[in-house]
Amino acid sequence: METYRIAVVAGDGIGPEVMAECVKVLKAAAALDGGFAFEFTDFPWGCEYYLKTGKMMPDDGIETLSGYDAILLGAVGYPGVPDNISLRDLLLRIRHDFDQYVNLRPVKLLKGAPCPLKDVKQEDINMTFVRENTEGEYAGSGAWLYKGQPNEVVIQNGVFSRKGTERVIRYAYELARKEHKTLTSISKANALNYSMVFWDSVFKEVGEEYPDVETHSYLVDAASMFMVKDPGRFQIVVTSNLFGDILTDLGAAIAGGMGLAAGANLNPERKFPSMFEPIHGSAPDIAGRQIANPLAAIWSASQLLDFFGHEDWGARILEVMEDMLVNHREALTPDQGGTASTAECGDMFVKLLQG
Ligand code: NAD
Ligand code: IPM
Ligand code: MN
């Protein structure tokens, strides 16, 4: 029997609360299937660890994680530790060092999930974002000159390598071809006269190898407007790190809220472990109260199952999620109008999964 070794970095705030439910669901799926198993190892890394040790993870943290088949991440960041340290030294470090260059984020409105848009049908919101995940504006390249002086200058570079741009765009074309969907590139070449002119030219160039894929290109400002006014235009979407970050929070808002938004950080070559996470943060405003919605974390479990080739279980998890959103609303957490605690929501999920 195949046993997947999973590193669990639950992290900060509501991270551990939602992670407990995600792990529950994965264990239940494996037990029901009988053909595969999980072995979970917890790593208590994050802001509390930082306050004790001065580090977000041990010096050999990346080496330790490299021995696992996948990583589950809860959330990182907490008041008391500057966000630029906590996120860069843990979450962004893992994405970067494991070359998880594809950030796959479904923006799909499930049946029963709330949508703030008027006159939009449920099936009109069904996109997959392929966000570049290792470079762009989040590469961490720049300078801070004359700090504190009147002539102070800060520079944050946008880094777009040919290799990095080409591979993520190619991944998106392959996905569009496989799923018989349209592919939309979102960029901003009118103002970003180096990086985005380059991005657009690579999108066109790679596209010559995919004449069967219907493509569209939008400027990011117009794309934000269309995501609200006419989301049915978008199917597979490929975009840069920064634009993808912002647009997928907009995506979360139109597809049920932050409590339902998940993402996979993939190293498609499988040279390094990939990482699965809810896209929300540590939510310090509700942490420790058992009211966080675990469904986003559970959706990321569905992505993990897809990644390991158990698409039947990946799909089954989304089916159960819809069943909860439509027929068992009392078992949802308060952000979805329910009255259940995080753990009660997870328990009901497992019960429905078991049929
Ligand atoms: P956030 O996603 O933590 O919270 C935004 C709002 O959404 C809050 O009102 C919160 O209560 C709500 N929310 C988020 N997840 C929820 C859930 N599962 N159930 C119910 N409500 C939920 O974003 P923020 O407040 O901007 O950031 C808080 C901290 O998290 C910061 O330190 C930030 O840097 C970090 N952060 C981490 C990640 C990550 O680890 N992937 C992502 C985003 C932000
Ligand atoms: C996300 C988060 C991270 C990102 C932050 C916390 C560094 O916002 O996963 O969307 O920008 O990638
Ligand atoms: Mn984000």
The model's pLDDT over 48-73, given as tens digits with 9 standing for 90+, comes to 999 999 999 999 999 999 999 999 99
Write the pLDDT tens digit of every residue in 128-143: 999 999 999 999 999 9
In the chain the beta strands, taken as DSSP E runs, fall at 2-11, 36-42, 70-75, 102-108, 126-132, 142-145, 153-156, 183-187, 215-219, 236-239, 262-266, 274-278
Q: Is the CB of 56 under 6 A from ligand 2?
A: no
Query: Which residue lies with its CA nearest to atom 5 of ligand 1?
Result: 283
Q: Could you tell me if the CB of 277 is within 6 A of ligand 1?
A: yes
Ligand nearest to the CA of 281: 1
The Cα 335–Cα 324 span in angstroms is: 14
* pLDDT tier, 186 (very low <50, low <70, confident <90, very high otherwise): very high
Probe target for ligand 2 pocket from 71, 243, 245, with the most ligand atoms within 8 Å of CB:
245
What are 291-314's pLDDT values in tens digits? Answer: 999 999 999 999 999 999 999 999
- What was the pLDDT predicted at 314? 98
Q: How confident is the model at residue 318 (pLDDT cuts 50, 70, 90)?
A: very high
Given this model, what pLDDT does residue 51 score? 98
Please identify, by atom number, the ligand 2 atom nearest to the C-alpha of residue 241: 12
Binning pLDDT at 50, 70 and 90, where does residue 26 land?
very high
- State pLDDT tens for residues 78-124: 999 999 999 999 999 999 999 999 999 999 999 999 999 998 999 99
Q: Which atom of ligand 2 is nearest to the CA of 88?
A: 7
Strand order in the sheet with 183-187: 36-42, 2-11, 70-75, 274-278, 262-266, 102-108, 126-132, 236-239, 183-187, 215-219
pLDDT band at 269 (very low <50, low <70, confident <90, very high): very high
**Domains of the chain by start residue, with CATH:** 1-110+257-355 (3.40.718.10), 115-255 (3.40.718.10)
What is the percent of the chain where pLDDT is above 90? 99
Q: What is the mean pLDDT of residues 145-167?
A: 98
Q: Is the CB of 255 under 6 A from ligand 2?
A: no
Neighbours of 314 (CB within 10 A): 20
- Predicted local distance difference test score (pLDDT) of residue 211: 98
Check if 18 has its Cβ closer than 6 Å to any atom of ligand 1: yes
Q: Quick one: which of 339, 301, 332 has its CA closest to 318?
A: 301
* Two tokens, residue 350: 């497992």
